[in-house]
Amino acid sequence: MLDSTETKEDNIQPHFKFDNSYARSLESFFKFCQAEPAVAPQMLQFNHALAEELGLDPLALDSDAGLAIFSGNVAPEGSEPLAQAYAGHQFGGFSPQLGDGRALLLGEVIDTQQRRRDIQLKGSGRTPFSRGGDGKAAIGPVLREYLIGEGMHALGVPTTRALAAVTTGNNVYRESLLPGAILTRVSSSHIRVGTFQYGSARGDEGKVRELADYAIKRHYPDTADAENPYLAFFDAVSDAQASLVAHWMNIGFIHGVMNTDNMTISGETIDYGPCAFMDNFAQGTVFSSIDQYGRYAYANQPVILSWNLTRLAETLVRFIDPDKEKAIEIMTDRVERIQPLYEKYWLAGMRSKIGLTTEDPLDKKLINDLLEVMEKGHADFTLVFRRLSQALRGDSDAVRNLIEEPAAFDAWAQRWRERLEQEGVATETNAQAMDRVNPIYIPRNHKVEEALAAATEQQDMQPFSNLLAVISHPFDEIVGKEAYAEPAPETNIPYRTFCGT
Ligand code: AMP
Ligand code: MG
């Protein structure tokens, strides 16, 4: 019973029902630790829809009590804060010990669809894995991760998500003094290829097996019944990652730092540091200021997919067959299947982008030829695909105007129409289907920067909110929001991104 002075609202507690399987099962793969205090926290953004999906009361959490949790000042009941250990290949060089240097796993909850999800603070201070770092995050990168992650989710790409962004009131020292912030990140787990490498680098077969058994149970329970669960597990991770990278390629997304510690076992996109969407199409596009040699350039992402999964294969090979040579042979064969698998996903995605519903052996060439026309014609990736449906509806100029030499497009479009005629799908049906897979709004780099600058320099979250609203419905064209669909105004300064959250 409420007494007369209490309102019903006072009585609602933010209630994470934690069930911390990682903490219970994998003691060699983490260290318990606490967040550093935030001196004057303020809520920047809270994700009501995600809170509901997690089975949480959004109003109870979008509050002072929630702020205390998301700023790291109060560890919610049932949480067992810990920093996860992992290793990783960074730009090809191996670091046997990385780990959560600026992140803290509060615990796991079971969401409304019975999925286990991690709740993690990112930017909450030093951990046993911080090495020389301060463990903190600045407001800009936190909001960047929020925006792009939510944009990716709306685009249908598997991804970690943002539950909350807060400022801490603490300063963070980067190139200048910046407001500190914390992102509350939600993921289906934070286990990475690098987590397996951590166990493997310590020569501890038993620990790697424990991790694999845990990951199987958590992410791919069906593989437990396979003749060799570890092989089936590897295939399942390969499948999820091949599909993920194909998705990125289909929307012009460049992750920017595909180190093995940034590749999840679940197949979710993680770590939105230097990532960005491409405007004008060019296979070699690189945005990250530290990616000097273009290792993680757009066109290289599928190659790195295989490279990273080969590192995972190396940690599992000892569980594949007692005969070492035979185990290597089996794993080599599995690794060689990744590129064809990737290509299958990529081609399926690209076919639907140009309105094809059936398969023809010449489709791959048709698609690659369009990409070539786009690259030579310095055309905007997102808009070309989006406006193909307009061409079907009778307005070819909309797409032609994006391409510097439209004659090349006309020749391609002739072949495309002939291919579409083979299928005999009604034009409007086809155009509508294309509009459901070719976004009109992506987190455009200049719009993202504008939103971050307003939040950082003027404490103005309005541009952020406006952009978030638009990219949360990327396929629905809205009258009055044309500016969000436009590429950045032409400049001679290439867009650059930076790693540090
Ligand atoms: P990333 O390239 O963002 O995936 O980070 C690579 C590694 O550096 C991870 O182990 C991070 O935890 C660590 N790291 C990055 N920034 C910081 C920081 N400010 N303080 C401590 N560790 C950090
Ligand atoms: Mg990382």
Instruction: Kindly report, residue by residue over 29-74, the tens digit of the pLDDT.
Output: 999 999 999 999 999 999 999 999 999 999 999 999 999 999 999 9
Determine which residue's CA is closest to atom 22 belonging to ligand 1. 101
State the pLDDT at residue 9: 47
pTM (two decimals): 0.96
State the pLDDT at residue 490: 79
The C-alpha atoms of residue 331 and residue 324 are separated, in whole angstroms, by: 11
Tens-digit pLDDT profile for residues 318-349? 999 999 999 999 999 999 999 999 999 999 99
Helix axis angle, 338-353 to 301-316, nearest 10° = 140
Distance of CA 98 from the midpoint of ligand 1 (Å): 8
State the pLDDT at residue 24: 98
Percent of the chain exceeding pLDDT 90 equals: 93
Q: In Å, how far from its chain's centre is CA 422? A: 37
Answer yes or no: is the C-beta of 380 below 6 A from any ligand 1 atom. no
Mutate to test the pocket of ligand 1, among 82, 102, 170 (most ligand atoms within 8 A of CB): 102
Encoded tokens for 384? 């070309």
Answer yes or no: is the C-beta of 84 below 6 A from any ligand 1 atom. no
State the pLDDT at residue 5: 42
State the pLDDT at residue 12: 43
Answer yes or no: is the C-beta of 36 below 6 A from any ligand 1 atom. no
| Core vs surface per residue 280-307: b (16+ CB within 10 A) or e | bbbeebbbbebbeeebbbbebbbbbbbb
Answer yes or no: is the C-beta of 474 below 6 A from any ligand 1 atom. no
Q: pLDDT class for 3, splitting at 50, 70, 90?
A: very low
Q: Which atom of ligand 1 is nearest to the CA of 501?
A: 16
The Cα diameter of the chain in Å comes to: 77
186: which strand partners? 119, 161
Q: Which atom of ligand 1 is nearest to the CA of 127?
A: 21
Of 62, 100, 235, 261, the catalytic one is: 261
Helix (H) or strand (E) holding 164: strand 161-173
Tens-digit pLDDT profile for residues 74-99? 999 999 999 999 999 999 999 999 99
Mutate to test the pocket of ligand 1, among 84, 100, 130, 175 (most ligand atoms within 8 A of CB): 130
Distance of CA 287 from the midpoint of ligand 2 (Å): 17
Answer yes or no: is the C-beta of 499 below 6 A from any ligand 1 atom. yes
Determine which residue's CA is closest to atom 14 belonging to ligand 1. 101
Backbone angles phi, psi at 303, to 5 degrees: -65, -45
Backbone angles phi, psi at 490, to 5 degrees: -60, 130
Active site (annotated) includes residue 261: yes
Determine which residue's CA is closest to atom 4 belonging to ligand 1. 262
Distance of CA 396 from the midpoint of ligand 1 (Å): 47
Beta strands per DSSP E along 255-322: 276-277
90 and 259 in contact (C-beta within 8 Å)? yes
The C-alpha atoms of residue 137 and residue 135 are separated, in whole angstroms, by: 7
11 and 2 in contact (C-beta within 8 Å)? yes
316 and 230 in contact (C-beta within 8 Å)? yes
Distance of CA 162 from the midpoint of ligand 1 (Å): 18
Give Cα separations from 330 to 74, 162, 234, 333 (angstroms): 49, 39, 11, 5
Helix (H) or strand (E) holding 325: helix 324-336
Q: 175 or 437, which is more confident?
A: 437
Answer yes or no: is the C-beta of 144 below 6 A from any ligand 1 atom. no
232 has pLDDT over 80? yes
State the pLDDT at residue 373: 98
Tens-digit pLDDT profile for residues 346-402? 999 999 999 999 999 999 999 999 999 999 999 999 999 999 999 999 999 999 999
Q: pLDDT class for 14, splitting at 50, 70, 90?
A: low
The C-alpha atoms of residue 74 and residue 363 are separated, in whole angstroms, by: 56
Q: Vertex 108, ends 105 and 109: CA angle to 5°?
A: 145
